[in-house]
Structure 1
């Protein structure tokens, strides 16, 4: 019984760590229009607060990965949570959009330690298709964070200012840091890299030349272009363009998370039967079709708000077949470098999100068109990468 409780506790904590990327953005999404008004900033400037986060998140992972392969997982995760709390406090005290962008970079450097190393912890503990199953299970559990994030953010906004949202993130980081003390180290000393950190960083070279890893990384990177185009554009498309109240935005956003949870639960059952690579390719086709449908609705106005929501639900749901399988597939290629592989893949796919959110911000015109176009391009790109670069034999 004690072992089962410990297992459930570890599952809950790993889910919380993996959810830091989501809560860092999802909680304050409903506040973006209000923040723009208070700070005297335009929609494009506020969308850059997402791009700034992605810059810190993608580059920070490249540091945490080798550190964890050399010194273990727990210490770097704890340091990351402290940095995240500092960045969140800085956002709460900011007086301009530019300051928030800077503090979002700091916040992201801390958040990425929790995310990238929780994935490495899964690979430390599980192998093969079991790793893909556990990754999907964790993503299903941690999906509660983005499901509740916009709803909680909207409620905080109803009773306090947007600054309270960032103070809430400080509290989350401190509680998680306290909980980390009960999680045992998953990467024992005898398995850690013996090379210097300099050599570890140079080790990214061979990983970048490994076509097996890059195939999985390319597919998930294309998908994340669309994910972050959606995150940057949806608040303004829903709230500003279609007049959806911030509270209702949380419900629409939550529906997309439910779609992801359902797909992840399906993936848990299908992964042992069909393998990660085959399910990734199927997810790519779903994402591509949904993206094209969204582009048609975004440019033609067909279906109004529902015309946007329906294909976005399908596109986001495809995440359940794409992300866990791509991560598990890449990690399986070099299990002895799980921290560095997780960091590299994470840096590539979150770095690609800079393109999605940045272009949506750069071409913001008050309509859903920039978001729709980027999501469509991302969906088609995901399908092409999954079917040309990833092969079932790589499971």
Structure 2
């Protein structure tokens, strides 16, 4: 398969331009984490402020994931026709405006609605960053580049909860959303500085009604569906982790809100190490083989977590240790599943990326909502959802050989 874009652009891009591109794309891919992880330590505070249950505040994640999934389905195919940079800037503008709405929310219901709209804007970042990688690189190289980008984007979940916890020490939870508004402005400035990656001769053209035809061609590819399913089931468990750990750690095991960020950061370090290893090994071992291994790690650690949470084995450590391995497996699963799915769609990378994102975050919607429904004040429901996500991700990855 030809390495679309790389031969003709590599010579024209300076090293400084390459570094800037990596930093900006990494920031764009991190927008889901930036928008969620930073306010995780504030969950109990927000619940108390509005006088609602923990399950009600967890719905702010569910609504965000709904908006994130739907938004990607819009931004992806639009960018296949008009280019990448414009839609990203439009999306970030919406993100900034709505982040102000989140900061001014006067009820849980208002925050849930604002988070839905915030996600519609934020979703432009990751879906188009993935498409831009596909514009420039073919499969194995794309997997390597995605792993490198995830090393950069891992800074967000690494420092997000820590920053959020520190903000709570000096201000209210509303200050977190004012900070997110500023992050959006900085990201717009970065996008303005980078070049467009989709040349005119590779744009779909025609009316936007052709979006449905693009989705039809993408959804007809069985391999894409299998890759999307493997990543989607994993994401289902990952978002149960995001929605469940603030209450499991802070409420159930009485971990201070500021220390919660440190526990979160340990898992992100594991994710970064896995992404680093993947970037080094993918050309030699192949992305599919590494993906299956990562899914096996997620399945084993997820089942272990479920058992520990059910029986109360190991206390807090019975949660944190298997969660470390589950979260780290993302570095072996996500980049390889995305690269494999996008490999066959050089001209419809936006639409294919949108399908991937919708499946991934759609699974997150289901798991976060399910967790809110079955929450009983213990870590057990979180453990069950994460364990199921890991096992199903492994099953889907094994189906790739038949696709």
**Do they fold alike, i.e. is TM over 0.5?**
yes
List runs of 5+ in structure 2 lacking aligned partners. 1-11
How far apart are the structure 2 equivalents of 1:351 and 1:316? 18
Alignment of 1:100 with 2:111, yes or no, is yes
**What is the CA-CA distance between 1:181 and the residue it aligns to?**
1.3
Greater shift after overlay, 199-208 or 332-341? 199-208
Aligned partner of 1:329 among 340, 346, 353: 340
Partner-residue secondary structure (3-state), 2:273: helix
Structure 2 residue aligned with 1:314: 325
**What is the CA-CA distance between 1:316 and the residue it aligns to?**
0.3
Alignment of 1:44 with 2:55, yes or no, is yes
Structure 2 residue aligned with 1:84: 95
Structure 1 residue aligned with 2:37: 26
Aligned partner of 1:347 among 338, 341, 358: 358
**What is the CA-CA distance between 1:202 and the residue it aligns to?**
3.2
How far apart are the structure 2 equivalents of 1:78 and 1:201? 24
**What is the CA-CA distance between 1:195 and the residue it aligns to?**
2.9
Q: Which runs of 4+ in 1 moved over 2 A?
A: none
Q: How many residues align?
A: 392
**What is the CA-CA distance between 1:194 and the residue it aligns to?**
2.1
Which string of whole-angstrom CA distances, capped at 9 and with x for unpartnered residues, describes residues 183-229 of structure 1? 11000111100232111233212211210110100100100110010
Aligned partner of 2:169 among 150, 158, 164: 158
How far apart are the structure 2 equivalents of 1:74 and 1:334? 19
Aligned partner of 1:192 among 180, 184, 203: 203
Aligned partner of 1:230 among 241, 248, 251: 241
Alignment check: 8 A CA contact 2:214 2:348 kept: no
Alignment of 1:123 with 2:142, yes or no, is no
How far apart are the structure 2 equivalents of 1:250 and 1:163? 18
Structure 2 residue aligned with 1:276: 287
How far apart are the structure 1 equivalents of 2:320 and 2:375? 19
Aligned partner of 1:303 among 303, 314, 333: 314
Which string of whole-angstrom CA distances, capped at 9 and with x for unpartnered residues, describes residues 121-142 of structure 1? 1111111211000000000111
List runs of 5+ in structure 1 lacking aligned partners. none
Which string of whole-angstrom CA distances, capped at 9 and with x for unpartnered residues, describes residues 211-260 of structure 1? 01101001001001100101000000000000000111000000111110
Aligned partner of 2:367 among 340, 356, 379: 356
Aligned partner of 1:387 among 373, 398, 402: 398
Structure 1 residue aligned with 2:304: 293
Alignment check: 8 A CA contact 1:280 1:326 kept: yes
How far apart are the structure 1 equivalents of 2:216 and 2:65? 22
Alignment check: 8 A CA contact 1:137 1:268 kept: yes
